[in-house]
Amino acid sequence: MTYCVAIRTDAGLCFISDSRTNAGVDNVSTYSKMYVYDQPGERQLTVLSSGNLATTQGVINQIKRDTQNSEVASFASLDTLDDIADYVGKCSLEQQEKHTGGGKPFEASFIVGGQIQGQKPGAHLIYPQGNHITTSRDTPFLQIGESKYGKPILDRIIGPDISLETAVLCGLVSMDSTMRSNLTVGPPIEVLIYEVDTLVTGRRYRFEESSEYLRKLHNAWDDKLREAFSSMPPIAWSSAWDQNAVSER
């Protein structure tokens, strides 16, 4: 299983992905699910992947090959992020068709985002069918993989006017919540922070399972949740409140 999230703010973008692809009793496999391409001063692009490993690796390898071939459309030559999302969707469909057989699903999802010179930054979520949606002020984050556990914190915190530091921290708490509820999602955790209009790969972090920072983040979030829960109004008060509300009406 996988969990990846891309967050867009007015200040830029951040991308966060886990690296676990298998978590059996005695066999844990990890592969990076983040691929970065940039032409400094011209474009910066990041891809996050989720789904069948053969498909996702095939798509990334195709992207790498095409960028070396000036005669084909690629990350190096396409004009807009929308064109790049269409291209990733096409590569995904081709790889799925190549591997299809035996009735087994070979579907994959991708997030591709970044900025091209002269355009606004953004991110697109590409579905297994090849179509895609994009970020907006109303949809400031995109998720792929095991998304349900990490979504509540994103819904409450993420907005276009927050800082990149806040966005990254919220994304990491979202990842921690997912790891807590699903053991098939896990470290290493990769993070990329892109500041708007820089057109270069920004800060990158890789947190291993032994990361002291991840441990402190996890413990701090647990402590604050327990503290918030302990301050909730007791259920015994509810009847008095409800009666007052009825009498006021």
Asked if residue 246 is part of any domain, the answer here is no
Number of domains the chain is built from: 1
Whether 168 is covered by a domain: the verdict is yes
pTM passes above 0.95: no
Structural domain for 52, as ranges: 3-210
pLDDT confidence of residue 110 = 98
Residue 29: what pLDDT?
77
Output the CA torsion sign for 219, 222, 228, 234.
negative
Higher per-residue confidence, 67 vs 100: 67
Note whether residue 239 is domain-resident: no
The two structure tokens encoding residue 111: 């997030």
From residue 204, give the alpha-carbon distance in Å to each of 64, 91, 144, 169, 170.
20, 26, 20, 14, 16
Q: Is 120 a residue whose pLDDT tops 60?
A: yes
pLDDT (tens digit, 9 = 90+) per residue, 32-88?
A: 999 999 999 999 999 999 999 999 999 999 999 999 999 999 999 999 999 999 999
Pair 56, 33: CB distance under 8 Å: yes
Please name which of 118, 199, 160, 198 lies closest in space to residue 10, comparing C-alpha atoms.
Answer: 160
For residue range 161-205, what is the model confidence (pLDDT) as tens digits?
999 999 999 999 999 999 999 988 999 999 999 999 999 999 999
Q: Note whether residue 223 is domain-resident.
A: no
The CATH code of the domain that includes 155 is 3.60.20.10
3-state secondary structure of 149: coil
Q: What is the number of other CB atoms lying within 10 angstroms of the CB of residue 198?
A: 14
Strands 108-116 and 122-126: antiparallel
Has residue 240 been placed in a domain? no
Task: Say what percent of the chain tops pLDDT 70.
Answer: 91
Look at residue 232 and tell me if it is in a domain: no
Interatomic CA distance for residues 170 and 16, integer angstroms:
10
In whole angstroms, give the CA distance from residue 77 to residue 56.
22
In this prediction, residue 25 has a pLDDT band, given cuts at 50, 70 and 90, of: very low
**Residue 234, domain member (yes or no):** no
Mean of the per-residue pLDDT values of the chain: 91
* In the chain, % of residues over pLDDT 90: 82
219 found inside a domain: no
